[in-house]
Amino acid sequence: MPNIIPITDFLAPELDLYARKTEVQLLNREHPEEGIFIAESPKVIERALDAGCEAVSFLMETRHVDTQAEAILARCGSVPVYTAEFDVLTQLTGFQLTRGMLCAMRRPLLPTPAQVCEGAHRVAVLENVMNPTNIGAIFRSAAALNVDAVLLTGNSSNPLYRRAIRVSMGTVFQIPWTFLDGETASTHQLHELGFRTAAMALRDDSLSISDPQLAAEEKLAIILGTEGDGLANSTIEESDYTVRIPMSHGVDSLNVAAASAVAFWALCNH
């Protein structure tokens, strides 16, 4: 049975995880085994539970306990369920986007790159992509367009930040992912994992994304760079291919999230 705990005061300490802890505090870099993330909305929470994530507590509108939350709560035993009326919860920034339900969950231990890439034929590599909205959008495209796994460099935004999870519609729990060591994409490590590497970059000598050489590769790592500056020169120079998306009307590039969708469609669906 769920452990229902009514909340009437927005300043109640039980709400600290949801209302007053920063993303960095929740991440808890010094003790990652104690890290927490916040999943928003019933669909996202269900996807996290399906992926094996452990619920720590819930926060929801009182009216949802016996309606849309009932099946979810039945999966979580006696986990605390903090309930409050709408006027209390709307003091939470962005609460209207949560469909009335939040869940604090333990961060899972990350697998190794080798574990993430086992059996994969197409992987996305994100080099210092720092915007959580872009991270979420890239994961959603990856899930929809046959990407097998996502690897991120150390300075990339964490896929379990609240905005990234929300924008991804919970697909961060469906696509295997982990972090690489270092601040740039390690083409050497990717080669050791059996992948040829395709750096998405604006170079005069770049291949068109429709080049049949790319589609013919059995295992391909598609490397996308940070917003604005793109990929490090060293990453481009060490990659097997440099690839660009043909543009028109004088446009020279796309936002990294939009570029990822085009790249995944062109390179992961053959």
- pLDDT tens-digit series, residues 200-246: 998 878 899 999 999 999 999 999 998 888 899 999 999 999 999 88
Q: What was the pLDDT predicted at 94? A: 62
Q: What is the mean pLDDT of residues 110-138?
A: 96
71 φ/ψ sector (left φ>0, alpha ψ -120 to 50, else beta): alpha
Name residue 58's beta-bridge partners.
Answer: 81, 103
- In terms of average pLDDT, the best of 145-149, 184-188, 200-204, 243-247 is 145-149
Q: What was the pLDDT predicted at 97? A: 56
Name residue 152's beta-bridge partners.
Answer: 126, 179
Angle at 146 between CA 145 and CA 150, to 5 degrees: 100
**Distance between CA atoms of residues 161 and 1, nearest Å:** 29
Q: What was the pLDDT predicted at 181? A: 85
In sequence order, the 6+-apart residues with CB closer than 8 A to the CB of 179 are 110, 151, 152, 153, 154, 156
Q: What is the mean pLDDT of residues 25-44?
A: 89
Q: Which residue type sits at 268?
A: C
Euclidean distance between the first and final Cα of the chain, in Å? 48
Q: What was the pLDDT predicted at 98? A: 63
Instruction: Report the range of poorest mean pLDDT among 71-75, 131-135, 204-208.
Output: 204-208
Q: What is the mean pLDDT of residues 90-106?
A: 78
